[in-house]
Structures are given as C-alpha cells and as structure tokens.
Amino acid sequence: MTPGQLRLAFAGTPDLAAYVLERLLTDTEHEIRMVFTQPDRPAGRGRKPRPGPVKQLALKYELNLSQPQSGADLADSTGLEQLDAMIVVAYGLIIPPAVLQAPALGCINIHTSLLPRWRGAAPIQRAIQYGDHETGVTLMKMDAGLDTGPVIAQTRCPIAADETAGSLHDKLAVLGAGILIETLPRIADGSAEAVEQDDTRANYADKITKQEARIDWQERADVLERTIRAFNPAPVAHACLNGQELRIWEANCDMDNGASRAPGKIIAVANSGIVVACGKGRLILKRLQLPGKKPVAVAELLNGRPAFLQT
C-alpha cells in the first residue's frame, strides 16, 4: 500500500455505478478488493438472466465479485472489517447497520441530488419532472436512514431546458466520479467535514412506475413536457391519440396559445410536429414510437404514413 492508497469495497449495479467503478480503477491507485452487485435479472425478449453493468465490468477486470440476494446475505460477507471504506453507488439493496460500520471509514455513497432536496430511488427523474433548475451530486457518509447521512461534499449542475433523464444521468456520472476521487484523500486523512442534513428540506423521489408514464391530457402542457423528458429513456411516456397507442420521446409545449379543442384532441398535424390540446396550453409531439417500431421524428413518420393521425 502506498500513502493515500485505500483498500475499498464497491457496491453498485447500473451504468452510473459502473462508470464510477471504472474511474476508480483507471484514474486512482486505490485497491478495489471486493465488488458487490445485484443478482442477474431477466431481460430481453427471452427473459434470460443478464448481468448488470457493474458485474460485466468486474468480470472484465477480474475483480473479486459477489452477488448477495439480500442485505442479510451482504452482512454475512467476510473481510469488510479489514477495509478502509465501501463506496456505494445505486446498489439497490438496503445495507445493514453491521456493514455500514464494518470498514474503518464507513460506507461512502454517491447520490445524484443536492441532498436533502431529493432522497430516494429516482432523484434525476424527479428533479426534471418537478421543474428544478439545478441539481447535482452529493457525497455522503451512509447511516441507517434512506439517504439521510451527513454530507461530505457536493457539486452542482444546471438542468438545461431540453434535459432528459438520460442526458442528466451522464453528466452526473462524470461529476460523481470526479467528486469522489477528489474527496477520498481528505476522507482518508480526516480533513473532510461531514455536515448533518436539514430534514425539513427533504423530499422523497419515489421509484418511477410505468403507470405514471401514461399521459393525462387534462394536465398542463408544460407539466407533460417535463414528464416526457423525465421519463426518457425509461420507462418512456406513452399515450393514446385517435385510437393509436404511442410512446412519446420528445415534445415541446406552447403555453401562450389556448387549446381550441378538448384535452387529448389533435389540433394540427405537420412535419414540424403533432399539436395536441391539453388542460392548459398545447403539446407539440416531435419524436414518436409506434408499437414494435423504432423511435422516429414526426417528419419521418408522416413521410411513410402521410395520413397518420390526421384530424
């Protein structure tokens, strides 16, 4: 071990976690002694078990890999007490108190929100959905609560007007890896101060469901536009127009012009977009997906089906 080199465990599952793990492996001298990730899940048309991004990366680098089925199984892991810290990024399992306390420096979590703004499973999506102008990444020492631990460091990120959950995810992954790598030496030498959160400012970012991705045309157009961006790339907003089921990948809103028809009725169809009446304002659909087809721009869709959704 060289000065400043830490003995680490890593717990995470999706792309965000894999990006951070690879940065630790390639951009630092810290030693990743153990990797924990969720069990393989069924995916694709055949619903065969598929390894997640962290598992794939751990296999690539030939790391010591474990896939506990539960928090209790994780608590049975040996060797954690010999480590300096465990880095946790979107792991997906509740970490038992015994594990939180096992490494010398505890468990350090990267959370994609400016805590305590959005605690919970979907902080990226909720920040966009509810119209936040900025978000960021929090480095936190984990405790037994849900994203309630003291804050070690934060970095901020503006939310662009056309931001999707996918584009924001990628920005926050870079920021998260950066702030972790920058702060780990100060955590190790004890100079990083951990500040308790103000619980009165906390909101809970519930897990996204497919049901709430169903468009309600009675809503305001600006609310629907944010919802569409928040649910891109998953689970993707969907709706029924003139009896046709559609997934909506991109839309703009027009709040200056009132709807000339009842909510959910089509006002105009053109290559520039399909205009739909909402509870207030209009939504201009720009990129759509028909069942069994790929997402395409409205102009391309109309080129192949000129009478599509004509009023």
Amino acid at 97: P
Three-state secondary structure call for residue 223: helix
The residues, ordered by sequence, that sit 6+ positions from 282 with a Cβ below 8 Å of its Cβ are 221, 253, 254, 257, 259, 267, 275, 276
State residue 51 phi and psi, 5-degree precision. Answer: -70, 145
Predicted local distance difference test score (pLDDT) of residue 259: 63
Spatial distance between the Cα atoms of 87 and 108, rounded to a whole number of angstroms? 5
Spatial distance between the Cα atoms of 69 and 77, rounded to a whole number of angstroms? 12
Share of the chain above pLDDT 70, in %: 96
Spatial distance between the Cα atoms of 300 and 294, rounded to a whole number of angstroms? 11
Tokens 């049975």 sit on residue: 76
CB atoms within 10 A of CB 103: 21
Strands 204-205 and 237-241: unpaired
Phi-psi region of 242 (alpha: psi -120 to 50; beta: other; left: phi over 0): left
Tokens 């102009």 sit on residue: 299
Predicted local distance difference test score (pLDDT) of residue 43: 78
Spatial distance between the Cα atoms of 23 and 17, rounded to a whole number of angstroms? 10
- CA distances in angstroms from 48 to 52, 111, 235, listed in the order given: 12, 30, 20
Predicted local distance difference test score (pLDDT) of residue 1: 46
Tokens of 113: 């929100």
Burial of 78 (0-12, 13-18, 19+ CB in 10 A): exposed
Predicted local distance difference test score (pLDDT) of residue 243: 86
Spatial distance between the Cα atoms of 108 and 129, rounded to a whole number of angstroms? 27
pLDDT tens-digit series, residues 119-136:
999 999 999 999 999 999
User: pTM of the full predicted structure?
Assistant: 0.94
Low-confidence ranges of the chain (pLDDT < 50): 1
Spatial distance between the Cα atoms of 230 and 235, rounded to a whole number of angstroms? 9
